[in-house]
Every structure is written in C-alpha cells, then in structure tokens.
Structure 1
C-alpha cells in the first residue's frame, strides 16, 4: 500500500502545484520527521519560496489547502509543519496493508519482464575462499535475491578466470610436483588439497629453483598460455582439470552462505568461440588504438591509464576477454550487474569505456563496488600462508552460536521437544545468518571489521535480534493453533483493522506497509543493505507491539485482529530476511 499511497501523494502534489501555477518537475517527496507518525512528507515549499515571493511555510500552507483527502483512497489527512507538507494514511491504507500481508508472498513485486544477469564472486580458482573476499558472494547473492523480489528474471553467474598466468602456473605445478612431497591439506576438500601445488609453485619459483629451472618452468607456463590462445584442446583439458577440481570445493564453501550459481562462465569460452579475437580486431580499427613494441593499447577518454588489450607476444588479457564476455551478456540479457572489489574500480571504468567505444549501450550495465572484510587482531587463529578462510569463519560462527543457544537454554527450563538436532539447526541458522547479515547490512563501499560480539548479540540490531522476531511471531501463531484460536491466514475475509487502534499496532502496520517500497528502492539502487536496515526497523516495531499488546489473552475481536497483525509481521520479516539471504527460524 505504501507504493500506491506514494503514487496518490505524487498526483495530489502535482495537482496542487499546477493549480497554484508552480512547476511540477520536483515534488520533494521524502521521509517525514522522526517525531511524526505520518508516512510521507514534501519539502517542495523550499524550492518554490523564491518564485512565490513568500516564506516556505506560507507556500506549504497554500499547497496543502489544495489537497482534499476525500478524493483519494490512501491519503487520510494532510498537515503542515513549518515548510513541510506531511501526509498521514487513511483507514483503508491500514486495512489493505493488513489484508495484503496475510499472503506469504508479501513484498514480491509484479513481473518486470526484464532479464538481469548478476555476476559476483568470480574469485580466481587458485584456492579456498578467503574472508577478505567474503563480501562479494554475500552482497552478490543478496542483490540477486532482492532483484527477484522486485520482479526481475535473474540469473547468477560466476565468471571463471581459467586463462590467466596464475592458472597456467597452477596447471604446471599440478603436473610438476609429486603430491608426496607436499604438506598435508588443511581440510579434506578439493580446493585445500589443490592449493598446496599452487603455493609450492610460488615458493619454488621465487626461492628454491635455479635460474635454469625457472627458465624451464616459465617456458612450460608460457606454452600453456599460448596453447589456450591458439585453441589447443589439450591445453584446455589440462587447465580444465585443475580449475574444475578447485571450483568444486569452492562451490561447497559458497553454498554454506548460501551463495549458489546458475552458471559458471569460463573465460576460455570467449577464446574458443573466436569472440576475443573479434574484439581485438574491432579495437585495433578504432581511433583510440595505439601500438608500440610492447603491446596494443586503447587511449581511453577521461581515463589517464591506457587499456592494454594485446600483449607483445600476441596473447590477450583478462579485460580483453571480459569485453567479449560483456557483449555476450548484452546479447542474452536486458541488464548486466557485476559485483567487484574496490581494487577493480579502474578496470571497471576501462571496461565501460571500451564497451562504449565498441558501440554498446552501457546504461544496461550496473556495477557494485565493495570494500574488504577484516577481523580484529586475535579474533581467530590463522594458518601460515592461508590467512583466514571463509570456512574457518563459518565454523567459528556456528560454534559460537551453538554456545549462545545452549547458554540461553540453561537459563530456563529446557523444552523437551528441542532435540540436539534442533540445537544444531538453530546454531547454523543463527551463526551463518549473523555473518551474512553483519556483512550485508553495511553500505558496500564502507570497510568492515567483523566483530563476534556485535554480530551475535541477541539484544542489539543484529541477525539474531531480527531472527528472534520471526521465531517469536511463529511461536504466537503455533500457540494460537494449539488453543484453537482463529488463524487469519486461513480466512477468506480481511481481518478487522479497526480493532488495531493503539500507537504500537499502527506503528507496526506502517512498517509492514513499507516493505514492497523498500524492495523497489533496493533493487533500483542496487543496494541490498537497505533491506537489512528495514528488517531492524521492523523488528523494533514488532517488539514494541509485543511488549504493549497481548495477543492470545485479549478479547476475541482484538485477539483475532492482533493475530492477523502477527501473521503479517511474520511474513514481512521472514521475506525481508530471505531477500538478503538470512534464514528465518521458527524457533530459537
């Protein structure tokens, strides 16, 4: 209903401005002051004061007088405070919100008839996923979920770097070293077993090998790279064995978050099908291409650093192949969104500029940059040579969450129905949810220092704090079933909203009504953290309602209406958590 009300407010303001002879290009619609329970406000009077020759409060009064709430379904009343025009919702707004939120799909927007490919993570397949890069799959998966809630047809892609020098070194190392001479793997998982070869290669080439041995190794590494460029099937097979093995283990780790992919798109696809060579030929023909004895480069408009797209030895670079990759995206999807670390900002600018030179519409391309995740000193043990792997962080999160759950059970009589399996399930939901929520709730461009105490705080604005609201709402509904109370989700008629007349009830309804608009905003701006912020605000409103408004002990009419409100809140908080990829437990 919030979206519908906003449309009505836009129409009402436009009509008032037009009637008073003011321009209607900027309505100044924004959130109301915190101390008002209105739903929308407008600061348009600030803009018009000069033209009107009157102070902003007088302009606001003039416009408000032109708006008749009786002409609209969702506008209840309009009042001014100083230069602001504030709008309150009607009773119909609350009634339709309560009714709409009985649907367990509440918050899902209509089909946009637009396909979007979201590329995220895309870490080089050279070893386990590192904590510092954990923000990419978490943001990427949350963004894909938000876009799906907003009505887009979404595919999740992992772009696999299987053609660069690192992979050639890895392939050579896998064939060169005897496994018996390597240290034991840190985990029984393919990527941990394989990364030993890569690390050994770096040590060998940098510290142990003679000049002749290094030269021999470099010849073989270069041969692998040249073979890929030349379309040598044996080179593709050699590299593929290493890459696919490592990716298999990385996928298992990412699925723990969860972050799953519809497709793993390999760089070599665009070498094998000839599209990389085609890109090179087209770039060479542009006015921006220059050649010296080192390489072919593009002199890009408004970017100081040239883009090298072919080395002196004739091999292409990552960005060259990524240009072919992006044109493939544009051929197959309406929009393309990529999640990248802040260290790739220059590369992203170069890519966009080169795509424009090639004649592509880059308005279809969206990019989300993120900063790194770090841990406080002493926060976790590290393994020499590996830093802190994502698997370590998730294991620690589950362990700490389990202890928190057990401590809380010790503080009260243990529920006989809560088995060890239940505790394990809750610990995993809470632990991994805490990691994911703490990371996705921050603006991507801001650095994060992950702190356990904050992430797992059941009383603060954390994942457990929000998850507990879903569990509490689920518990109320379950108890209502046991007592034979009315289950509004099974009724064919709308619950009676007039019985919900306290400030706490109306505050909760206002927050529930905002959910579809929050999804729309997060999808439009590619900012899933907006949804996480909303879940905290919704949780606060529910907890205020829970403290002040007994549900099952109220009189029958009030009980039924409040139970409907609990169902609505459960759907809103559950779907909002799902939109950022955090599980919503039914019990905690």
Structure 2
C-alpha cells in the first residue's frame, strides 16, 4: 500500500481497523487474511463514493454468510464521523457515502502537497529498466518512431512518480547489415562532396539528403584518401562515424519532444565484449541451449532444404511453439541471440524490464519473454518482463493521408511535425488512445480549438483556471480555505473526481499504461468546463460572485486545486500546463 496521501488508502486503513475490532469481538477469527480486501470507487457513482468487498471475502473464514458479516462491518462504519452512510448492496458488498467534510479535507491535502499530490511510494525499492525508441541509427526520427517514444517516456515518468527507480534505455542496433548499408551510403555522399557526379542513388542505399552533411564533413577531414580505396579500408571507419552522426541527430530529434535517455547500449559493443558468448555459456550450463536441427520450413522438402545443426534455445519450455536458433549457419549471432544477451545484460542492473516495441515486432514477443523467463529461473529469482506493442501512426492532412516515398527518401520527420504543431500537442495526442489501437494524426484536428481535441480541451481547462485566478487577484480576491463549507453538491462532485488522481496514478503505473492519465485528465477537464458553463446562465454559479466574497474565496480555492491536479497529470505526460491560450 502507498505510504503517501490517498483518500482510498486512508479508508482502507479505517476498514482494516474495523476488521481488527471485529476480531477482538470474536466476529472474525484471529489472524484472518485480509489480502484480498479492496476499497475502491463503485463502478456506478450513484451507488456511493467507495465500496468494499470485505464481507464477501471474509465470510467463509468467519463461518457466516456475507450479508451477516456486512451488517457487523456497517455497524462499525456508521459510527465514523467521516462516513455519511454505509449500506449493504447485493450479496454483501458495502457502499460508503462520505461526509462533505472529507472532500473539503481533500482539497486542503491537494493544496498542502501541491506537485506531490498523487505521488506514490508503491514502487519503492524496485528498479525498472524501460527500453524505448531504439530506432535503427540510419536516419532522423520519423513519425513511425514517435508514438513509442512518447509512450515509453511517459511510462518512465509515471513509474518514477509512483516511487520506482527508473533506467531509461535506448538500444543502438549498430551491428547489423543496415549499418554497413549506411556506411556505403555515406561513402557515396563523401565522393559527391569531393565533386564526383554520383548520379541517382543506387537501389539498396539510403537516398536521404540527411547524409549529405556527414559526407561533407568526411571529405573535409580526409580529402580524397578513401575516394577510390577498397571498401575494406574505409567501411569500419565510415560505419562508426555515420552511426555517431545519426545518433546525434536522433538525440536532437528526441530532445524536441523533451525526451532524454539515461543509457545508450550499443549492440556492436555488446558483441565486442563477448556478451552473447557469455549468455550462450550460461544457457548451456543450465541446459537451456543445445545443438540441434530446425524443422523444415513449411512447404520445403529434404530435396530443397538442407538441415543444419545450430545452437537452439529451449524456447518450448517457456511456451514458445518451437526452439529458436541463437546463431546462424555462418556463425554470426541471430537477432534473437543478440537480443537474448542484451536482455541478460539489462537484467543485471534492474529488478523488472519493460520494452516498448513497434507492433511489427509482435512475432518476437513470445520468444524473448521465454528467454527472460529462462534467465530468471536460472538465477532463482523473478524478473518481471513486459512488452508493450505500439501501433503505427497514420499521418493525415485535412482528412487525406500524407504521401511518403521510401524510394526517394522523402518522409515526414518527427522534427517537422513538432515544429509545425508543437511538442505538447504531439505528446498528448500520442497518449489519447491505447498504444495497441490504430491512430490517425491529422495536422488540422490536433490544433483545433474544440472539445473534440483532447489536447486543447485539457490545456484550456488549466488556462481557464489560471485566467480566473488572475482576474480575481486583480480585483483583490483570494482563494480562501476557511470558507469551504460554502461549497455545494456541484463543487463537491468536482473534488470527488480530483481525489481519484492518486488512485489513477497507482493503477496506471501497475498496468504500465500512461494513457490512463490522459483519459482521466480529459474527464476532469470536462467536469471543470461543465461547472464553468453553469455560470453562463446562472451568475450565482460563477467562480467569482461579486457580492459574496466568502463563496468566491471557496470557489477560487477549489479552482486552484483542480488546476494543481491538471498540472500534475500533464507533467506526467511531459506536457506543459499553459497559463493562457
């Protein structure tokens, strides 16, 4: 349970105290297990503010029926001054309605905690490695990378806020054939910079203009030394310099989104350090790798397919449909073999692993989960491992798909999009749908000033509050916590929703789902706008009531705390809470 303020945790503690009292009275057996007792808002808000399953869970241990036990629990709860009513529902659930004083106290708690309202210690003592982006270092970031980047970064921030120690990691895939292609593409641009007419970019090389500058840099540095030299003389050098330049570009692109990583792990360095060999040795020692032959591919016969003995990981022991090779027939590591060693390396410094992958990697999930499960089993410990798959983003402009061409190297870069619509719009929009759901990003809609644009709607709520507080200050009016008893049902309903924030944070962190914060903020903004709009027809409902300074002070205090919760939620998403729009 969290050790910082949450209303739900506080009432869970009160119910725990009631259960302890019932033990002393003999209504519950001594040492009864309350591990499965929950205290949370009911699905239907009309049923009350909180609900508990205590009687349903404990009735069997108490050798009684749930409703009979619920009656005893309710009897105790109704003595609590903070409980307006406790009622039994259905077979034995208990619904609580809390006194208005509880919600007034919650407003005071928001004010006291400020930016820490919602912060949790649930993850204390747990180090989590979140690996995200990990785009191949072959060019600038494009919108295909953007969604995973935002989801991973928001998740890392959310986990930190929930008390985890987080490592933000980027895996640089700089050991595969694609970086050799990059080096050859840069060599072509290098020759171009020396004055050679290179003509059309050959098929199979990267055609983008983003390689022109690195070609010029290398030409200035080395002259024509490598212009006609054999590939073996320059490939490694050009590969390293090209990857370094591309990673500088990628870091700069990510910085536009407010994203920074703690660790950049190089696949080439991993292999040079012999990590895959160490992993294979460890796996063989634990009988998790053996030498064997793969089954013939579907549709192939022994006449057109030659079986080869390869080192195979026993993936079938962990739920995969076949064992997987960690090396190719030429002795090079398979992608899976290198990835297995990489995850072994990450597990050395973290208690839990989270990978943010594109949906095109779905076929790899089962085998890498099997590998991590094997590592954990061999080490005699648990290594929680989660893979979040993120769907691509379809770029639209005015309802029409944005056309891109891989052949010509033209694509919409992340930098182009951020410069056009802004960091906050990009980040929030990427979290307005579950990552596994398809998404369209329409340049016109994401900057639209309407309720249908969640980014605008939430930021506008904060801007409205800020504007109201500025106006009030100009008139000599201040938020007044001493007058909170003037708040009515409509205002208390706003507080009830704001008070959900700490629970939402913990639930979102537990589920590894930062989009829950965005969904919650939209609901809170909608409630704020709805209350605001009441004042359009009824002046008495406005935040500033000219003839009633006490009511105005109470509502201004309410507004400031709703604004604080919106601010805290937006901060988790890496989005600014704007003061005016």
- What is the alpha-carbon distance in structure 2 between the residues aligned to residue 52 and residue 151 of structure 1? 36
1:122 maps to 2:134: yes
Query: Bigger CA drift: 109-118 or 538-547?
Result: 109-118
- What is the alpha-carbon distance in structure 2 between the residues aligned to residue 544 and residue 91 of structure 1? 21
1:474 maps to 2:484: no
Structure 1 residues 33 and 454: alpha-carbon distance in aligned structure 2, compared to 1, 3 A threshold: farther
Residue aligned with 1:65, SS: helix
Matches within 5 A, 1:209-288: 237-285=237-285, 286-288=287-289
Structure 1 residues 451 and 29: alpha-carbon distance in aligned structure 2, compared to 1, 3 A threshold: farther
Structure 1 residues 394 and 7: alpha-carbon distance in aligned structure 2, compared to 1, 3 A threshold: same
Query: Bigger CA drift: 444-453 or 159-168?
Result: 444-453
1:181 maps to 2:198: yes
Query: What's the TM-score, normalizing by structure 1?
Result: 0.77
1:516 maps to 2:524: no
Which residue of the partner structure matches residue 101 of structure 1?
110
Aligned with 1:434 (options 419, 425, 442): 425
Q: Shift of residue 264 of structure 1?
A: 1.7
Matches within 5 A, 1:161-560: 161-176=173-188, 178-179=191-192, 180-181=197-198, 192-194=209-211, 237-285=237-285, 286-292=287-293, 293=308, 295-300=310-315, 301=317, 302-358=319-375, 359-360=378-379, 361-375=381-395, 378-383=400-405, 385=407, 386=409, 388-391=411-414, 394=417, 398=421, 428=422, 432-452=423-443, 455-457=446-448, 458-460=450-452, 462-487=454-479, 495-500=482-487, 502-548=488-534, 549-553=541-545, 555-560=548-553
Aligned with 1:11 (options 12, 16, 19): 16
Q: Shift of residue 572 of structure 1?
A: 0.4
Query: Bigger CA drift: 122-131 or 563-572?
Result: 122-131
Higher RCO (C-alpha under 8 Å, 6+ residues apart): 1
- What is the alpha-carbon distance in structure 2 between the residues aligned to residue 122 and residue 158 of structure 1? 5
Q: Deviations over 1:308-351 (max 9, x none)?
A: 21222222233333333323322223332211123323423322
- What is the alpha-carbon distance in structure 2 between the residues aligned to residue 344 and residue 195 of structure 1? 31
Residue aligned with 1:155, SS: strand
Residue aligned with 2:580, SS: coil
Which residue of the partner structure matches residue 414 of structure 1?
none
Q: Shift of residue 265 of structure 1?
A: 1.6
Query: What's the TM-score, normalizing by structure 2?
Result: 0.78
Which residue of the partner structure matches residue 228 of structure 1?
none
**Residues 48, 59 of structure 1: 8 Å contact kept:** no
Which residue of the partner structure matches residue 77 of structure 1?
85
Which residue of the partner structure matches residue 208 of structure 1?
none
Tell me which stretches of 4 or more aligned residues in structure 1 moved more than 6 Å. Answer: 20-23, 44-56, 195-198
Which residue of the partner structure matches residue 578 of structure 2?
585
**Residues 351, 383 of structure 2: 8 Å contact kept:** no
Residue aligned with 1:547, SS: helix
Q: Shift of residue 443 of structure 1?
A: 1.7
Q: Shift of residue 162 of structure 1?
A: 0.5
Q: Shift of residue 522 of structure 1?
A: 0.9
**Structure 2 unaligned blocks of 5 or more:** 1-5, 202-206, 216-228, 294-307, 535-540
Query: Bigger CA drift: 39-48 or 298-307?
Result: 39-48
Q: Shift of residue 305 of structure 1?
A: 3.3
- What is the alpha-carbon distance in structure 1 between the residues aligned to residue 446 and residue 63 of structure 2? 53
Compute the RMSD of aligned alpha carbons: 3.6
Q: Shift of residue 61 of structure 1?
A: 5.9
**Structure 1 unaligned blocks of 5 or more:** 185-189, 199-216, 225-233, 399-427, 489-493
Q: Shift of residue 53 of structure 1?
A: 12
Q: Deviations over 1:422-451 (max 9, x none)?
A: xxxxxx3xxx43332232121222222334
Q: Deviations over 1:183-231 (max 9, x none)?
A: 79xxxxx985129999xxxxxxxxxxxxxxxxxx9x96xx79xxxxxxx
Q: Shift of residue 101 of structure 1?
A: 1.4
Structure 1 residues 91 and 283: alpha-carbon distance in aligned structure 2, compared to 1, 3 A threshold: same
Structure 1 residues 175 and 396: alpha-carbon distance in aligned structure 2, compared to 1, 3 A threshold: closer
- What is the alpha-carbon distance in structure 2 between the residues aligned to residue 267 and residue 75 of structure 1? 58
Residue aligned with 2:79, SS: helix
* Equivalent residue pairs, number: 513
Structure 1 residues 484 and 48: alpha-carbon distance in aligned structure 2, compared to 1, 3 A threshold: same
Structure 1 residues 85 and 16: alpha-carbon distance in aligned structure 2, compared to 1, 3 A threshold: farther
- What is the alpha-carbon distance in structure 2 between the residues aligned to residue 10 and residue 288 of structure 1? 52
Structure 1 residues 63 and 396: alpha-carbon distance in aligned structure 2, compared to 1, 3 A threshold: farther
Q: Shift of residue 28 of structure 1?
A: 5.6
Structure having the higher helix fraction is 1
Matches within 5 A, 1:137-156: 137-156=149-168
Residue aligned with 1:125, SS: coil
Structure 1 residues 362 and 499: alpha-carbon distance in aligned structure 2, compared to 1, 3 A threshold: same
